[in-house]
Structure 1
Amino acid sequence: MALFGLLLTLATPALTFLLFLLITTFLGYCLYIKYIHLKYDHMPGPPRDNFLLGHSPSFLRIMKNGENVHDKFLEWAERYGPVYRINILHYAAVFVSCPEATKEVLMSPKYPKDKFVYKRLFYLFGQRFLGNGLVTAQDHEQWYKQRRIMDPAFSSVYLRGLMGTFNERAEKLMDKLSDVAENKTEANMLHLVNSVTLDVITKVAFGVDLDLLKNSSPFPKAIETCLTGMIYYIRDTFFEFNPKNRAFVNEAREACRLLRTTGAQWIHERRTAIQNGDEVPKDILTQIIKSASQEDKMTEEDEEFMLDNFVTFFIAGQETTANQLAFCVMELGRHPDILEKVKKEVDDVIGMKREISYDDLGKLVYLSQVLKETLRIYPTAPGTSREIAEDMVIDGIRIPGGFTGVFSSYVCGRLDKFFKDPLTFDPDRFHPDAPKPYYCYYPFALGPRSCLGKNFAQMEAKVVMAKLLQRFDFTLVPGQTFDILDAGTLRPKSGVVCTLSHRDHKE
């Protein structure tokens, strides 16, 4: 205090006023944090690590140790119940695993996506990232306008027309896996399916042929860097200000710029084709341009808006499907009985034919169950959140308005009260005659803001898995971990390394 007094004595009046203003502002902020604590501390929840930072030091320790923060959310749900609170700075988040409240909030358009998370997806370390795209738009009218325009690119009629591309790209993966089998080498399945799903989305959404199984590309690394940066940007308020992180922050900004520059180029080429009267597909890229053409006059912000949706679909259209496929291979490799059962279904439905039809997909009932069970244990997009302005009562607990509601499919999918022996991989949970999970299974979210590409993703996953099961036997290489890497989306930490052999169909 003596030193502080000396500084005030020596300081100029302007500096004294500035110091006074800073101290007063900081004290006012601390009082506001205290007010938020008092407002929500009647709720159950873990002790805070820190008055100012709340629970964020716990998350940072988990990330530093390479662990999965969603396991901590699950542990807290088991300890504190279906409604518990956490604090980060002046924000209060309420984690909800109560099906009735999940239904009420996620099925309604009146609860916008929350500012804390989704505003931090607008920019990534100061570089525009997802902006106001379909996933991040908070204003309902703005979102609804985009969704209405995008819907035709995901209609069942259009999706049927994509079967040729799904088959063609999956065949390229089969050729690659055939080389692996013949050379008796090991295959990193996550890496390979990532290449295929990125190939599919660039081809069917943007009309661009990357052929990543043969050609190198900066895009997979750029997507991974953006997602990793996104996690740090959301969970560590001071990450970008640490000099040790400067190189990674610059790398993440550059990755963002690459995706947006690529988008600008592909949009320009497609626009030119439209203006020249060339025939163009009714794909996502055309719909993005169509959404912008509804404006009377294109502004610079409208141009950025198009790029927001380009980056959104570029990332969302491949990352989560690839991770689901890799987790599916991992679980089938661990459960030979389930693997044999799903192989038999594929043999019965597909036989030896190379071209899988849309009607074939509907007959692959057990494969659908396997893919759904994969997403129950490993929801690659593990949760969503909403801003709740009004007071609510959830599970008998009164919650004052002004909080963020967090809904985790990862937590619900692993709670014993919803799924018996939740860590046991059991596709029969999703048998057509089994009771449907009641608002505790939502890997694609729920309600109006549910994933637009859900059917696209599951068609693609079915085609790839059916061809893999039709052609190859695979075995997990011993010694690898089955841990989850929390990297924005959830992915298998090991990459799912397999040895493969051609199936003998003579039996």
Structure 2
Amino acid sequence: MFFQSFNNKFILLDLVLPFIGFTLIALLIFHRHWFQSWNLIHKYPKSRLFIYFPLIGHLGLLTYIRPSMKNFMNLFAMFGSESGKMIRLLGFRTITVYKVEHLDVVFTHPHTQKKHYSYDFFKGFVGDSIFRIHGERWKRNRKAMSPTMHPETIAPYTEDMARITSILVDKLKLKQRCTFDIMPDVAKCVMDVFVNTSFGVDMKLQNGNANKFDHYTDAFLELAMYRMMALPLHPDFIYKWTKSYELQEEALKYGKIVTDKIFMDRKAIYNEELKTRNLEVSLEEQYGRKRKFIDHLLDLSQDALITEQEVLDEVNTFMIAGFDTCTSGVCFTLLALGMYPDMQEKVYQELMDVLGTERDIQYSDLSKFVYLEKVIKESLRVFPPIPAVIRVAEEDFLLDGNTVPKGTQLLCNILSTHRSSLYWKDPMKFDPERFTSEQTVKHVKNSFVPFLAGPRTCFGTRVAWMSLKTIVATLIRRYKVFTPYKSPDDIKLEIKMTLKAEEGILIRLEERKQL
């Protein structure tokens, strides 16, 4: 949505002035870091993607400076052909990695746990959550929050996930037998799921809630991603002069109005219940409601383990990150099942064996969806929702026997790892049998990292798996899925925070005949 309008209306102020500012900042960084790290930079192996000039660096990068999805995807694909090589332009330098031995170092080394500064572009919504912060504060908050992801804690979420997805099932009846992009419908459903899981309220976006929270959230994320692609717009003092900044602030303003109000209402309810709380019975038995993520975090706040502001930041992050990654995961799994009818039929038969035609999905059922899990894993391999992450070297460290200078950006190209013939036989063949228990033990470490690895692995992985299984199972139980795509190679990809299909998730539905 937003990228197309930007590409069509890219005004002088959004390009020329930012480019001048970018150049000046690059020169300052160049002078500061060049002389500090010259010897290390000079010795480190350089990329051969572009001609390298000793003082300037890879001048060819300038041809990709205009922010467009085509430029970004072309550059991303090029980066996927090298691992452990440095790409440099003036004071900016990046090492791209996709080989598993390089990923292992970046994911686990104590000097590479800090995220790139561009993740700060999302601060308006996620605040100082574990998504952004690092160091001792990150360790403290992550440790304090770990019990909130215990299986017994999250198990009750399944019932509401299934209930909310059933609304999507009913809505899709009106779109049977025509080919359409299902992503907008799935996105509303997933947002409803994660608002409920996070805050314990039904936002009812699928039913046409007028607050348009999904619209503002999507706008904010796309604008932040647009800024990430546009290097000249990285400095705050330049970005604040652009139309993009105005649009992002507007999206943030309305999005925060919604979440702040929900938070204050939920906190008031929590505080009232605290006065009469009977710890010997469950919250559902005493007050008729289930405990949600926000309740567990408010418990931590009561114990002074985290602050109330951190509670809001973490709930927002959990909701936004879960929404975007799960939407991508569900949609590409549906595409895969549409491309391979035999696999879809095996999933359906498994669902019938476990559930029958009418019974609601329960948490205990999820572990029985063995073949569905294999299909989802193969989908996450071929179409990883998080196709890349960027870290920064806080200190010098060794990579492949070479010293990486402090301040170097580290681009982990997960999409290339997942599709590399180094680790996967016939990598573009969609084959769920790669994930049998016998084959899984043969996988090379870090060759399958849809939720990352190391200390900063995805915090909500268990909830992500719950939502993926529950939503896909609920849909496949009611509909046969078809798609015009024949194989993963047919799908042109783009990155808008998470992996997306350029032409949309095109499917056709046919309601199953229930016995």
The TM-score normalised by the length of structure 1 is: 0.82
Unaligned runs of 5+ in 2: 1-22, 275-286
Q: In the alignment, does 2:226 pair up with 1:224?
A: no
Report if the CA contact (8 A) 1:149-1:290 is conserved: no
Which residue of 1 is the match for residue 482 of structure 2? 475
**What's the secondary structure of 2:207's corresponding residue?**
coil
Post-superposition offset of 1:320: 0.9
**What's the secondary structure of 2:510's corresponding residue?**
strand
Q: In the alignment, does 2:336 pair up with 1:350?
A: no
Change (3 A) 1:479 1:28: closer
Distance 1:60 1:403 in 2: 19
**What's the secondary structure of 2:215's corresponding residue?**
helix
**What's the secondary structure of 1:449's corresponding residue?**
coil
Q: In the alignment, does 2:70 pair up with 1:67?
A: yes
Distance 2:58 2:303 in 1: 44
Change (3 A) 1:24 1:264: closer
**What's the secondary structure of 1:440's corresponding residue?**
coil
What is the correspondence of 1:283-322 to structure 2 with a 5 Å cutoff? 283-295=292-304, 304-322=309-327
Which residue of 2 is the match for residue 172 of structure 1? 167
Post-superposition offset of 1:487: 0.9
Post-superposition offset of 1:326: 0.8
Distance 2:75 2:294 in 1: 39
Distance 1:218 1:68 in 2: 31
2:261 pairs with one of 258, 265, 272: 265
**What's the secondary structure of 1:277's corresponding residue?**
helix
Report if the CA contact (8 A) 2:64-2:71 is conserved: no
Name which one, 1 or 2, has greater alpha-carbon Rg: 1
Which residue of 2 is the match for residue 161 of structure 1? 156
Post-superposition offset of 1:304: 4.7
RMSD (CA atoms): 3.3
What is the correspondence of 1:22-421 to structure 2 with a 5 Å cutoff? 29-32=29-32, 34-35=34-35, 39-41=40-42, 42-45=44-47, 46-47=49-50, 51=56, 57-61=62-66, 63-64=67-68, 66-67=69-70, 69=72, 72-78=75-81, 80=82, 82-87=83-88, 90-108=91-109, 111-122=112-123, 128-139=124-135, 141-181=136-176, 184-216=177-209, 217-239=211-233, 246-277=242-273, 279=287, 281-295=290-304, 304-421=309-426
Distance 2:178 2:402 in 1: 57
Out of 382-391 and 456-465, give the one that drifted further: 382-391
The one-letter amino acid paired with 2:107 is: L
The TM-score normalised by the length of structure 2 is: 0.81
The one-letter amino acid paired with 1:164 is: E
Report if the CA contact (8 A) 2:354-2:368 is conserved: yes
The one-letter amino acid paired with 1:97 is: Y
Post-superposition offset of 1:243: 9.8
Q: Deviations over 1:290-340 (max 9, x none)?
A: 4444559x9xxx665444323312211211101111111112222223223
Distance 2:58 2:241 in 1: 20
1:493 pairs with one of 474, 496, 502: 502
Unaligned runs of 5+ in 1: 1-22, 123-127
The number of residue pairs the alignment matches comes to: 468
Distance 1:291 1:109 in 2: 27
**What's the secondary structure of 1:259's corresponding residue?**
helix
Out of 211-220 and 282-291, give the one that drifted further: 282-291
Q: In the alignment, does 2:449 pair up with 1:442?
A: yes
**What's the secondary structure of 2:231's corresponding residue?**
coil
Post-superposition offset of 1:454: 0.9
Report if the CA contact (8 A) 1:205-1:285 is conserved: yes
Q: Deviations over 1:32-89 (max 9, x none)?
A: 465457642531313379949967645445x52x3373563443342x4x31122365
**What's the secondary structure of 2:93's corresponding residue?**
strand
Distance 2:413 2:25 in 1: 35
Q: Deviations over 1:214-254 (max 9, x none)?
A: 11442222122122121232232333888999433212111
Distance 1:462 1:490 in 2: 19
Percent identity over the alignment is: 24
Post-superposition offset of 1:190: 0.8
Out of 444-453 and 90-99, give the one that drifted further: 90-99
Report if the CA contact (8 A) 1:169-1:200 is conserved: yes
Out of 172-181 and 406-415, give the one that drifted further: 172-181
